[in-house]
Amino acid sequence: MATTDLSAYDKTKVPNAKDFRFGIVVSEWNETITNGLAQGAIDAFIDNGVSEENIIRWDVPGSFELIYGSKKMVETQDLDGVIAIGSVIKGETKHFDFVCDGVTQGIKDLNIQQNIPVIFCVLTDDTMEQAIARSGGAHGNKGVECAIAAIKMAVLKQL
């Protein structure tokens, strides 16, 4: 399976985001990966006009906690979008399946229930090597891709 450069985007197709405020909720689990994703998102926001003071970061213990953290961020902050950042790496038990499914459904539910887009930036990889490749490594940075999605969804929110 081929993976494209997750950091690549055409800046001419991204709206200027200087008037937007974004939140990032970051799982502390697999923090090397999640911090790389968060930095990619922050860099992409700044590259597209968001000022640093308009980017709010909260950390939560794990990927499952991204749901509640994102919900509280939506409810308590004046934001145009939120990115939920996590990394779940497959192990020997079904825990991987339960966490991935729960987080996916939880973020989906927030998008239905709230009026602020919550972007799913949770890597669900088989190995640490795959996660590294997608958080600033050989395949780029999924955090960048999610920041661009957040900007575009913030514009859609205004309609």
Question: Can 139 be counted among the known catalytic residues?
Answer: no
Residues contacting 123, CB < 8 A, separation 6+: 33, 37, 86, 87, 88, 130, 131, 134, 135, 142
Count of C-beta atoms within a 10 Å radius of residue 34: 28
Cα(74)–Cα(63) distance, rounded to whole angstroms? 17
Q: Which two tokens stand for residue 125?
A: 């990889």
Residue type at 1?
Answer: M
| Contact assessment for residue 114 and residue 95, using Cβ atoms and an 8 Å cutoff | no
The catalytic position among 11, 18, 95, 108 is 95
| Structure-token pair, residue 36 | 């790389």
Active site residues: 95
